[in-house]
Chains A and B, each alone.
Chain A
């Protein structure tokens, strides 16, 4: 045997490593420091929202108050002023709900069917159609703003909730259709062929074969749409009309309202309230959220 026996310590088993190798420590240090950059705004937002105005004026924004109060939250929800009216964020919340729910349903219904058609029922100009969709999902909204004003006005829905629903549906369709098309294309084509051989038609295949297999992608689409529509500001300003402003617009108006004393605690409470819905969705759907942006972004 050629075993060297002169060594004092014979290497055996795993290479011994110090508990805290400098490289590892560095990695964690950097990760934790960067985490602070991401977490501090949330932290500041929360502690500010439960301070009273004196604590803000004489305190430090990074130090929590000793006497937290929820008065700013109440005020932000139901009393804060946006210019003339002083009914807080609540109406905006209800508007956002009544915009988001129909927009999500309509856009996903249409996009899933068109994605399914594109993936499984090849037709003339399918490729061209696909390209236009791709490009369409990148067209800056500004290009479409005025044409959509004209269209909604012609439809008689301008300055109503339905105008915003319509616009969200239109802008959601390209990316959603792509999402669904890519997903349906990734399903084994044999499945689709087998269903056709069994005599199932267009709708039957969609509802009884494709839909049951597509729960994940529907989840992803719902998350994508709910957060996207809830967070929208521009379309709300332009198409909804003042009585229908969604929460984001209300928030902006509250914060920028010039009446009276600037109440930073109420502003921050309002900001949290506006962010709470998408944040909740994010925290509860972590895996799907990541998948959604990855699927929507890194296609094919």
Chain B
């Protein structure tokens, strides 16, 4: 059974990559002869990079991916450190920070769409309080819509980073902390110069999870902005979906091959760590 699944994964990936070098539109092809006949080299990729819609998508992915990853890490680590200060009600705080992660991206998208709704949401509320010029129109503002996606994404995802980091912090031997106190190293320096480097495996794994999750972002955008206004918050996943099933199959597979490459790049640091571990053992 697992072998079949493996076969599906490897075969499917292979098929997708191969078909991205062809000009197929709606009907899939299978035999080498068919592939040979349909072969167009890099044409799909050239078309892809000439498409303004793809350029917007990949730029947005860059913005979303980097901001989401950076903020999720900074906020998540920071929260984890605060949670690590032997606080009361730790369980309550953790439950609060983590519950969005249990929700569907579609749910998250719609909730934030409502909160950021310019007519009724935050903007209207603040204006109602007397600040008439206050503006929070990210959802309808072409310049800002992708940042709205970042806010909603962080709401859903930082709890996960916090939980992973907290698990990492708790995994640090207590004697390290004692040794640092005897050495007179201030707490913040212990966190940054001793604990953080010790958490490298956790950091790398978390990075891979967070960043590869960012590449896959789809439902959140659909729920929040539907890629709009206009094309302003398009992401590659939407591009794939909207080409693959509307008669530009090879365009879609080419775009998804790029996503595969992006994921592969993200996996590199993790592979290095894993490989390094094996060498040491």
A interface with B by C-beta (< 8 Å)? 24, 27-28, 30-31, 34-35, 37-42, 44-45, 48, 56-57, 60-62, 110, 113-114, 129, 132-133, 135-136, 138-148, 150-151, 169-170, 173-174, 177, 227, 230-234, 238, 248, 251-252, 255-256, 264, 267-268, 271, 274-275, 278-279, 281-283, 286, 289-290, 293-294, 297-299
What would 8 A/B residue contacts be, using CB atoms closer than 8 Å?
A: A27-B82, A38-B99, A40-B115, A110-B1, A136-B9, A146-B253, A252-B222, A275-B107
In the complex, how many angstroms separate the beta carbon of A166 from the nearest chain B beta carbon? Answer: 10
Report which of B106, B117, B249, B267 forms a contact with A251, defined as CB distance below 8 A. Answer: B106
Most chain B Cβ neighbours within 10 Å, of A177, A248, A281: A248
**Contacts A146-B244, A282-B99 known; A294 to B205 CB distance under 8 Å?**
no
Which residue in chain B gives the minimum CB-CB distance to A173? Answer: B5
CB-based contact A275/B103 at 8 Å: yes
Report which of B125, B163, B245 forms a contact with A61, defined as CB distance below 8 A. Answer: B125
**Contacts A145-B256, A147-B12 known; A234 to B125 CB distance under 8 Å?**
no
Q: Is B28 interfacial (CB 8 A cutoff)?
A: yes
CB-based contact B99/A114 at 8 Å: no
CB-based contact B163/A286 at 8 Å: no
CB-based contact A286/B202 at 8 Å: no
CB-based contact A35/B267 at 8 Å: no
Which residue in chain A gives the minimum CB-CB distance to B2? Answer: A114
A150-B249 Cα distance, complex, nearest whole Å: 12
A110-B103 Cα distance, complex, nearest whole Å: 26
Q: Is B192 interfacial (CB 8 A cutoff)?
A: no
Which residue in chain A gives the minimum CB-CB distance to B168? Answer: A298
Which residue in chain B gives the minimum CB-CB distance to A274? Answer: B107
A275-B249 Cα distance, complex, nearest whole Å: 34
In the complex, how many angstroms separate the beta carbon of A216 from the nearest chain B beta carbon? Answer: 16
CB-based contact B2/A177 at 8 Å: yes
A174-B5 Cα distance, complex, nearest whole Å: 9
**Contacts A27-B87, A114-B1 known; A146 to B105 CB distance under 8 Å?**
no
CB-based contact B163/A293 at 8 Å: yes
**Contacts A139-B263, A140-B263, A290-B163 known; A146 to B16 CB distance under 8 Å?**
yes
Most chain A Cβ neighbours within 10 Å, of B98, B106, B159: B106
A163-B162 Cα distance, complex, nearest whole Å: 35
Report which of A37, A45, A133, A177 forms a contact with B111, defined as CB distance below 8 A. Answer: A45
A80-B67 Cα distance, complex, nearest whole Å: 37
A268-B117 Cα distance, complex, nearest whole Å: 13
Residues of B within 8 Å of A297, CB to CB, are 160, 164, 205-206, 209
Residues of B within 8 Å of A275, CB to CB, are 103-104, 107
Report which of B105, B114, B259, B263 forms a contact with A231, defined as CB distance below 8 A. Answer: B105
**Contacts A41-B112, A150-B28, A271-B111 known; A286 to B79 CB distance under 8 Å?**
no
Query: How many residue pairs bridge A and B at CB < 8 Å?
Result: 231
CB-based contact B11/A147 at 8 Å: yes
Chain A contact residues: helix, strand, loop or mixed: helix
CB-based contact B219/A248 at 8 Å: yes
A40-B99 Cα distance, complex, nearest whole Å: 12
CB-based contact A38/B114 at 8 Å: no
In the complex, how many angstroms separate the beta carbon of B187 from the nearest chain A beta carbon? Answer: 10
CB-based contact B114/A140 at 8 Å: no
Binds A, one of B41-49, B141-149, B176-184, B210-218: B210-218
Which residue in chain B gives the minimum CB-CB distance to A117? Answer: B2
CB-based contact A170/B164 at 8 Å: no
A282-B16 Cα distance, complex, nearest whole Å: 36
Which residue in chain B gives the minimum CB-CB distance to A34? Answer: B79
Report which of A113, A177, A230 forms a contact with B104, defined as CB distance below 8 A. Answer: A230
CB-based contact B97/A60 at 8 Å: no
**Contacts A38-B159, A132-B9, A132-B10 known; A147 to B87 CB distance under 8 Å?**
no
- Ranked nearest first, the 10 interchain pairs of A and B with the lowest CB-CB distance are A147-B12, A231-B104, A282-B102, A142-B256, A233-B219, A114-B2, A275-B107, A142-B240, A278-B102, A248-B106
CB-based contact B93/A35 at 8 Å: yes
Residues of B within 8 Å of A289, CB to CB, are 98, 102
CB-based contact A233/B104 at 8 Å: yes
In the complex, how many angstroms separate the beta carbon of A77 from the nearest chain B beta carbon? Answer: 16
A28-B103 Cα distance, complex, nearest whole Å: 26
What 13 new A-B contacts, CB under 8 Å, besides A232-B104, A283-B99, A294-B163?
Answer: A31-B79, A48-B114, A110-B1, A136-B6, A139-B263, A147-B11, A227-B102, A251-B107, A256-B226, A275-B103, A279-B99, A279-B102, A297-B205
A208-B183 Cα distance, complex, nearest whole Å: 52
Which residue in chain A gives the minimum CB-CB distance to B255? Answer: A142
CB-based contact B5/A41 at 8 Å: no
Q: Is B120 interfacial (CB 8 A cutoff)?
A: yes
CB-based contact B164/A141 at 8 Å: no
In the complex, how many angstroms separate the beta carbon of B220 from the nearest chain A beta carbon? Answer: 9
**Contacts A230-B104, A233-B104, A293-B101 known; A139 to B9 CB distance under 8 Å?**
yes
In the complex, how many angstroms separate the beta carbon of B16 from the nearest chain A beta carbon? Answer: 5
* Contact flags B74-112 to A (C-beta < 8 A → 1, else 0): 010001001101010001011111111111111110111
